[in-house]
Structure 1
Amino acid sequence: MGIDDRRQRERDARRRLIITTARTLAETEGWDAVTTRRLSTEIEYSQPVLYKHFAGMEQLVDAVAIDGFGELADVTRDARLRAGPPNDALARVAHAYLDFAGANPAVYDAMFARATTLRFAAPDTPPQLTAAFDELRQAVDLAHDAQDAEALTEVLWAALHGLVTLGRTGRLRPGHDSDRLQLLVEQFTSRRGPVRRAKP
C-alpha cells in the first residue's frame, strides 16, 4: 500500500471517528453538548484537525444525518424483505421506521429537525436519502395501486414523522401507539386502486 493510500485511510478513519463521537455525544447528552471543543477533547485531536474534515457543525450534523438515512434504508429494507403479504410489508416497514426513530432520537433530529444543507428530491440528493425514501415507496407500491406513488409515499412519510414528533413531545395519548399505527396502515391498504388527483 502506498503512502497516499495509507494517508487516505487514516483521514477516512479520523472522519468516521468524529462522526461516531458526535453521534454518541448527541444521543447521550443532546446536540448542545456537541461542540468542536468537546469533540477535540473526546477524540484527542486538535480543533484545526476537526475543521479539516468539517467546516462547521452544520456539515457534521449533515454527515450524521446521511448515516441515519442509510441506516433507516437498511432497517426498512430488512423489514420489507421479511414480510409476507403486501399489507404486512407496509406494517412492518412502518414499525421499523418508528422503532428506528425511537432508538436514535438525536440522529432522527439530525435527519429531520436540525438545520441542514442537505437537499431532498434534487439531482444532488445523497443516495442514502433516496434509498430511505425508495424503501417507503416500495412498501407503498406493494400495498396500493397508486397512479402517483411518490405523492402517496410522501403522505405516508409525513404521517410517520408526525407520529414520531407528536409522540416524543407528549402530544398524543400514551398507550395507543399500536392502534394509531394500525389505523394508518389500514388507510393505505383498505382501498387498493388508483389515487385520483384533486382538481385545482
Structure 2
Amino acid sequence: MASKDRIQRLKDETRINILDASLRIAIEEGWQSLSMRKIADAIEYTPPVIYEYFNNKEAILLELTRRGYLILSKDIQAARNKHDLPASQLEAMWLAYWDFAFANQELYQLMFGVQINCCCGVVEELPESKNPLNQFREVILSLMNSANPSPDVICLKYYTFWSVVHGLISINILKRGYSDEMNNQVLKVAISDIINSIAKAT
C-alpha cells in the first residue's frame, strides 16, 4: 500500500509540475509559445511522458483554466467574508476580482479569451466556471431581497457589473488604459453607482 501511495504521490507531483511549467512558459513568453515539447524540456521529461497525463495542449489549458476559477472563487469569498452588509460585500468582491485579474494576468487571459483563443463552450461546462457567478448572485439577491427579483433580473445586474469590470480589465491588458489612479476611480465609481441603482430599485 505504501508503494502505491508513493507512486500516486509522484504522479500527482508530476501533473502539478506540468501545469506549473506551462504557466511559467506563458508568463515568460506568452500563451502562443506554449508547446508540449517546451513543457517537457522545462520539467526535463520527454514529450511522451506529458501525454501520459494530458491528451494534448488544450487539456492542459483547460486544467489551468479550472485552477484560475478556483483561485478567483477563493479570493472573492475571502473578500465577501470581511463584510456583513451586501453593498460592502459586493464592492469588496469586485475589487478582489480586479486584483485577481492583474495578479494572475495569464490565467485571466486564458479564462476569458483575452488575446488568446478561448474554447468558451468547453470552459462554460466546467463546474468551477460557475462559482464566481453564483457567489455574486447570492449577494445581489441579498441586496435586492425586498424586491423578490427573478433570476433574470439578478443575472442582468451581475452582467452589468461584469461588463464594466471585465471591460476595464481587458482595456488595460491590451495596454490601452490610462493611469492607475484613473482606473481605480472609474472602477470604484462604476461599482458604487451600480450598487446604488440596485439599492434604490428595492
TM-score range, shorter chain: 0.7 to 0.9
Alignment of 1:32-181 (within 5 A): 32-113=32-113, 114-116=117-119, 118-120=122-124, 125-145=125-145, 146-147=149-150, 148-174=153-179, 175-181=181-187
Contact 1:144 1:188 in 2 (8 A): no
C-alpha separation in 2, matches of 1:72 and 1:152:
20
Q: Which runs of 4+ in 1 moved over 6 A?
A: none
Asked whether the 8 Å contact 1:27–1:104 carries over to 2, the reply is no
Whose helix proportion is higher, 1 or 2?
2
Question: What CA distance in whole angstroms lies between the structure 1 residues aligned with 2:63 and 2:106?
Answer: 13
Give the TM-score of the pair, scaled to structure 2. 0.84
With normalisation by structure 1, the TM-score equals 0.85
Unmatched 5+ stretches in structure 1: 196-200
Residues 87-117 of structure 1 deviation map (CA, whole Å, 9 limit, x = unaligned): 2111111110011001111111111113226
Q: Which has the higher contact order (CA 8 A, sep 6+)?
A: 1
**RMSD, matched Cα:** 2.1
Report the CA distance shift for 1:75/1:56 in structure 2 as closer, same or farther (over 3 A).
Answer: same
The percentage of counterpart residues that share the same residue type is 24
SS at 2:83 equivalent = coil
Task: Report if the CA contact (8 A) 1:17-1:43 is conserved.
Answer: yes
Q: How far is the alpha carbon of 1:194 from its aligned partner?
A: 5.7
| Aligned partner of 1:182 among 162, 184, 188 | 188
Map Cα deviations across residues 37-87 of structure 1 (whole Å, 9 max, x no partner): 111111111101111212221111111110000000000000011124222
Indicate conservation of the 8 Å contact 1:136/1:157, yes or no.
no
Tell me whether 21-30 or 44-53 shows the greater mean CA deviation.
Answer: 21-30
1:3-27 C-alpha deviation (Å, 9 max, x unpaired): 5444333222211111111112212
Map 1:12-23; keep pairs closer than 5 Å.
12-23=12-23
Does the residue aligned with 1:115 lie in a helix, a strand or coil?
Answer: coil
Q: Deviation of residue 153 (structure 1)?
A: 1.5
Per-residue CA distance 1:107-135 (angstroms, 9 max, x = gap): 11111113226242xxxx32321222222
Q: Displacement of 1:187 after TM fit?
A: 2.8
Ranges in structure 2 where 5+ consecutive residues have no aligned partner: none
Structure 2 Cα separation of the partners of residues 119 and 38 of structure 1: 24
Amino acid at match of 2:169: V
